[in-house]
């Protein structure tokens, strides 16, 4: 009788081991599937983050352009009034353009829209300056050119 009880307990233990192994395999499978889903989710979030960062960069650029256009327009209007709506080289009053004496690309931010860094030129004089002189030309050279020297 003890043998029968021992045999039955052994069979039950083997069944429990088999069931435990089956459950462990199932848990391992579920764990692997969850890890795959988490990896996919993280990948998706990274892509969305990159897209959002790209959108933010584009929006900031657009905002700078819009603000820059507004600043340029205000700056140009102030220069026109200061320079009495005439080219400061030849005196023409048509096709007037605002010119940065120190180019925007090299001047400090606060100087870009300063009135002392601008002058009104007609389109022809403005093109002549940019066609014959480079960005690195000095203010002295610009002033000599401006006076037709």
Residues in the chain: 149
Contact between 74 and 92 (Cβ < 8 Å): no
pLDDT in tens, the chain (149 residues): 777 777 777 778 788 888 888 888 898 999 999 999 999 999 999 999 999 998 888 888 888 777 778 999 999 999 999 999 999 999 999 999 999 999 888 888 889 999 999 999 999 999 999 999 887 778 899 999 999 86
Whole-model pTM? 0.58
Could you give the CA distance from residue 88 to residue 95 in angstroms, rounded to a whole number?
13
Contact between 122 and 104 (Cβ < 8 Å): no
> 46: how many CB neighbours lie within 10 A of its CB?
10
């Amino acid at each position: 009788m003890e043998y029968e009880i021992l045999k039955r307990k052994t069979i039950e233990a083997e069944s429990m081991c088999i069931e435990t192994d089956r459950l462990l395999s199932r848990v391992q499978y579920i764990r692997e599937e969850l890890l795959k889903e988490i990896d996919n989710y993280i990948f998706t979030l990274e892509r969305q983050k990159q897209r959002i960062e790209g959108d933010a960069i584009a929006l900031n650029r657009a905002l700078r352009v819009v603000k820059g256009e507004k600043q340029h327009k205000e700056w140009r209007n102030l220069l026109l009034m200061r320079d009495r709506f005439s080219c400061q080289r030849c005196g023409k009053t048509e096709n007037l353009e605002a010119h940065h004496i120190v180019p925007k690309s090299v001047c400090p931010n606060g100087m870009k829209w300063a009135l002392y860094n601008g002058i009104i030129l007609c389109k022809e004089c403005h093109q002549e300056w940019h066609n014959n002189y480079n960005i690195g030309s000095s203010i002295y050279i610009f002033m000599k050119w401006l006076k037709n020297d």
